[in-house]
Amino acid sequence: MADSPDHPATALPGRPPVVDPATWQTARDELLLREKAHTREGDAIAAARRRLPMVEFDGTAEVVGPDGPVLFMDLFQGRDELVVYKHMWYDGAPHQGQCEGCTTTAWHLKDAVYLNARGVSFAILTNGRWEEVASYIAFMGYRQPWYSVRGLDAPVGGDMGYLTCFLRDGDRVFLTYSTTGRGNERVNGSLGLLDLTPYGRGEGWEDQPEGRPEGRGSCWFWRSDADGNATWGPTSRPVPQWTRPGATPVTTLGRHGHDH
């Protein structure tokens, strides 16, 4: 029959096969078993993470925020737990020249009300000069607490680009956890949703069925031009910046000695 799901007339090149609802449900249930196992393994890893040792450090290190220097321990805002994102910074670069990966993470962390309700504080740290950082925060419309940790060593300063967790016990402060590599993905809800779609993230490393659209470089859609075309060219911006007032087309990224 020409209207049967497996008939060539119903085939869609480069797309999933067309089947009846019962066949789809069987395949979905089979995948669900693997998804549940993955979830349980994630729970086990989280349990192991809670059992990691921790490192004590001087919580009186001064960071710079909108009200001037404050102690790092003040970032806990009276709570016992603190999560920070360490945002990379390119000195002297215009807004469009700042890190697109860090922009992606920070944009997905614009609100910490649920963390606060759980008794966890949140802040973004960066090693940029506060004057430049303050201008960038205003342009992006960010409302999270931001602080400059310029000149400070790890774990307050040091390498940027990671989520890091801290614990406070009175006047004592401890490092408990920090991500590496793709560990930041857990807060990027857009990537999680894309992983549910038929075409995925559209990145070249993904295992795609034959005939699907060819993947591109990692993070290829994190920058775009004024017309919304994904590009890493000299007139691109991190995608969220195009939603900001005054985000006009640009002629240069202004990033010296840095290429993707």
Alpha helix locations (H) across the chain? Answer: 21-50, 100-107, 113-117, 130-140, 189-194
- Could you tell me how far CA 243 lies from the centroid of its own chain? 18
Looking at residue 7, its pLDDT comes to 59
Kindly report the backbone phi and psi dihedral angles of residue 240, in degrees, each rounded to the nearest multiple of 5, phi listed first.
-60, -25
Contacts of 173 (CB under 8 A, 6+ apart): 56, 57, 58, 59, 72, 73, 166, 167
Q: What is the mean pLDDT of the chain?
A: 93
Q: In the chain, what percentage of residues exceed pLDDT 90?
A: 85
Q: Which residue has the higher pLDDT, 253 or 110?
A: 110
Q: Count CB neighbours of 132 within 10 A.
A: 19
Which one-letter DSSP state was computed for residue 241?
A: G
Q: Looking at residue 8, what is its pLDDT?
A: 53
Q: Rounded mean pLDDT of 159-184?
A: 96
Measured CA distances, 201 to 43, 177, 198 (Å): 25, 28, 9
For residue 251, the model assigns a pLDDT of: 84
- Average confidence (pLDDT) over 194-217: 94
pLDDT value for 9: 52
Residue 64 to residue 70: CA distance in whole angstroms = 6
In the chain the domains, ranked by start, together with CATH numbers, are: 50-184 (3.40.30.10)
Q: Are 152 and 257 in contact (CB under 8 A)?
A: no
Report the C-alpha gap between 31 and 25 in whole angstroms: 10
Instruction: Determine if the peptide bond prior to 198 is cis (ω within 30°).
Output: no
pLDDT for res 252 = 84
pLDDT band at 250 (very low <50, low <70, confident <90, very high): confident
**In angstroms, how far is CA 43 from the centroid of its own chain?**
21
The pLDDT, as a whole number, for residue 159 is: 95
Q: Say what the pTM is.
A: 0.90
**Dihedral pair phi/psi, residue 239, rounded to 5°:** -50, -45
